[in-house]
Structure 1
C-alpha cells in the first residue's frame, strides 16, 4: 500500500469526521488520532477543548488510551490558573508551538499521566473566529523535529476539529434549548416526559411521586409590578427550588406559573405530602422584585405512580386533578390524589367527551318539580330541571354536567335545548287543558344571559308555541347579576317587554346583589335551599330567611322557599309570610308524564297542621 501524502492525510481526516455528532465524536476522534500517530511516528496524541466558563482545558480523546489512569487524572481537566507554563499558554494560543525536554514542569505532568519520560511535543490550536477553542497535541519520547509543511497540515486538520467542535456545540445548544425552559433554565415539558418515561419503566425503583405546582394569583403581581418583575419573581423561585431540592430531582417549568417536580428518590403518598408541604412553604417566602418585597402562595397537587404499572400520562393527569382540587379549596394548599378524586374526574372527563352528543341524540330529558302554595297545596309553578340519561352511568343530575357544559362552551347550546323543550312540553299541557294557571320556571346560564340574541330567541320560542310571556319565569343566580350588571339590565328589560317574569335563584348566597334588587326588573327571589333546610334547627338561618322575606316584601317581590324537606321548615316559612315553596316534602322532580297527574288534580295534598288554615283535600 503506497504511503499517504500530507494532502491525502487531510482528505482522509475530513472524510472520517464528516457526519460525526456528539454521540460519535470521541470514537471518531480516536480513529483520527491513531491515524496521525501512525503517519507522524509519535507515541501519544490527544484532543482538548477549552471551557471558557471554567477557564480550563478538558481532555476529549487520547490515543492510545492509557492503561493505568491516575485518580484523579491530572490530564482530564486542567485549570489554566493552576497549570504549568505550557498548559497556561494553551488558553490563548493561536499558532502551533513546540515543547522541548527543557520544559521541566510540563515533563513532570506528562510523565505522571502517561509514564513517558523526556518528551518533545507539538501543540496545534483549534481556532474559531480567531480565538483558541482547544488544542490538538502530539507527544514523542525523545526528540522530534517538525517541518513547516507538517505543521501547516496539522493546522488544517486542527481546523477540521474546530469545525466539528463548533457543530457539536451548536447541536448541544439546540438540544439544550429543546429540553429547557428559556426563562428559568429548568427542564421543559419535553425533558420532563422523557425523564418520567425512564422512571416509570418496569423494574425501576418506586413509587414515583410527582408534584404539580401552581402559583396563586401571579396575575395580580404582573398587573401591579409589570411582567418583567413577574418574570424575575419566577426566576428567583426557580433558583430557590434548584438550591433547596436534591440536585438529582427533576424540576420542570411547563410555562406561565406551572411547575412539575419529580423527586429522584422513591416516595410514597405520605412522604410526598410532607415534601409538598415543605415545597409550598419554600415558595411562600418573600422575594424582592421591582423594589417591592412580595410573596405568592402556591397550590400543589400530588400523585404517586408505580413503575411498570402507571403511565406518565396517568401520573401527570392525577397530579393535575389534585392541583385543581387544591385550588378549588381556595388555593395555597396541598392535595393528594385519591380514589374519590379519581371517580370525580373520570365522571368529568366522561361528561366532557360525551355531552355534546347528548344534546343532539335525545339522551337529555327534563324533569319538573312542582312549586305550591303551602296553605292550600295548589300548584302554582313547575321548575324544569335537566337530566342526562347517560348510557353507562344512568340518570345524571344537572350538578354532574352543567359546570362542565359551562367550562366547555356548551352551556349556551344546552340552555337553548332546555328552553325549547320546556316550552314545547308546557304548550302541550296547555293544549290538553292542564297547567292553565301554572308558571313554567326555567334556569338560565350566564352564557345565555349575556348573548346578544337571547331576548330574540325567547320571543321566537314563545311565539312558536303560542305561550304568553307572563306564564314563563326565567331564573338567574345572584352571581350572574353581579358579574355583568349593565348587560343583565339590558337583557332583563327586553324580557320584561314580553311580560316574561324574572326570579333570582339561590338567593342569600351572594353579597353584592341586595343593592341591585331595586334597579333590576325582578319579580321574585328564591331563598337558597341551604337556609331553608335547617329552619327549625338553626337560629342563624331563621334570621337570614326572615330578613330575606322582609326585604322581598319591602321591594314588592314574590318570595319562594327552596329545599323544603320537613314540615317544620314548611310551617316556619308560612309563619314568616313565605307561602310558596318547593322541595322533597312536597314533590321530587318528576318526569313529564308523572307530573300530569298532579296537574290534573291542580294541587298536592299536604298535612302541615297550620293553625287557622284549611288543609288541602286529599286526592
Structure 2
C-alpha cells in the first residue's frame, strides 16, 4: 500500500497557511514541513482567526493547517470561519485535546482531516496534506456532478429533491406545483433500436421539456425514463396546466432516431402544494398517484391529483400493520445481485436486497417500506431474519458450487445503533449456519460512521473480532474523514451508482477514478454498483476497479446466480470481452 498520494500536483508558488498561536507547536509543525517533500513551499504563520481570514483573501494558499483553540476563536468557530472564508482550500485540524467528538464535527463542517499534536511527525503531516488536497479536489468535482444528470444535462434526482425540500414550506404561500412524467413503452425503444438510440431519445425529450417551461423552473431526470418538473411562484393552477398541456403536446410529436421516427407516450401527474404543512412525501405521493391515473387513461395526457386516494399519513399505519404480519406470513424475500471480480473474471459474491410482498401480491421496493420498518422498530427482527436467511442461502450455494462466495447485507442506521445486540445476532447466525465469518460482508453508509464515534468504534471493533467484512456503501455521497477510514476496520468501498453513470463524461470518469484510486491507496477493495452498460464496465475496468455489479450482468433474483453454472460463467466471459474499446466518453 502506498504511503500517500505522491502524485498530487501543487502549484510551486502556493504557500501553506499555519494558524497556531502556540509558538512551540508552530515551530514543531514548521520543522516537520521543512523536512518533508513540502519543504520547498513557504509557510505563512498567523496566531488569530481574523489574521488567517485576511491572509486567505490576499494570498495564494494550497492548504490551511489550524489549531482548534485560538485567542479569538474556540473549538469549531475556527473551522467555520476558515471554511466560509476559503471553501475551496483544503483544511487540516490539529487537535491537542484528543476530543474525537469535536474533531468529527470539524470534519462535518469542512475539514478534510485532523491530526493529534502528541503523535505528529513529518510523514503523517505530509501524507495528511496530500490526502487533504486530493480529497478536496475530488469533493469539488463531486459537487459539480452532484446535481447534474450527465446523460441529459438536466438536474438530477438529488438536485430536485433538495429543491423540493427547501421550497415546500413556501409553496403553499407563493404557489407551486410538482409534476412527474413517465415515458410509456420506453423499454421497447431500448430493446428494438439499442441503448444509444434510447439515450438519444432521452436527450431529445429533455430539450423539448426545457422549451416548455420558464428558466426559473426546474426540470430533472429522476433516472431511467422518469422526469420531474418543479414550478415555483405559480398561484394560478390554470397557468400550470397550460405548461402541462405544452409538455404533453411536445412529447406527442414523433422523434427522429437514426433512420426512423419514433412515437412516444408520456404520462404526466400534477400535484399542487396549496395546504400549509404539506410534507415533501405527501407532495411526491400525490404527483405519483396522479401520474398513474394518467397512465390508466391511456397516456399522452396529464392528470391533476384530486385527493381521492388515501393520504400517505393514513396509509402508513396500514403499511406498518402489514409489515408486522409480514414476518409471520413470510412476506419478506431476499433477492441477490451477483458481484463479478474484474481481476479474475469470476463471480466472487452477491448482494442481498430486501423485498416485501404486499398483501395484494405486488412486490414492493425498499424505498416503499424501509423507513416504516425503522420508525416502528421492526427493522430489528426483519434485519436479523435477512442476515440469517442470506447466510443460510450462501452456505447452500457454496456447497453446491465448491466456491468461496460471500454475501453482502445492508445494515440500516437503526440496526447499527443496536450495537452489542446486533453483534450477538450476527455471531449466533454464523454459529448456527456454520458459515465462515469472512463470507459475510456488512454494508453501512459513510455518514453512519460519523454519527457517534465512540459507539461506532465499539461496534465495529466487536464486528472485527467476529471476522466479518465491513463495506462503506454509497461512498462519495456523504462526508467522511480519511483518518476515520484508516482508523475503522473497513475492508471495502462501494462506489455509488451515480458516479458509475457519470462515467459517460470525461469529468465523471475522472471523479470515479479518483474514488477508486483513493480506496486502493487506503488498501481497500473497491466495488462499483449500478454497472448497466458495456461502456460503464469498460470505464470501471480502465480505472482499475476490483469488483462490479449491476443489470449488465444480472438483475437481482431469488434464484441461485446463473454465474454458478457453466452457461452463466460463459455469459459473464462474453460480457467482459465485449467492453474492449467501449470506454467512449464525452466532454
Q: TM-score range by the shorter chain?
A: 0.3 to 0.5
What is the TM-score when the length of structure 2 is the normalising length? 0.46
Which structure would you say has the larger Rg? 1
TM-score when scaled to structure 1? 0.44
> Does 1 or 2 have the higher relative contact order (CA < 8 Å, sep 6+)?
2
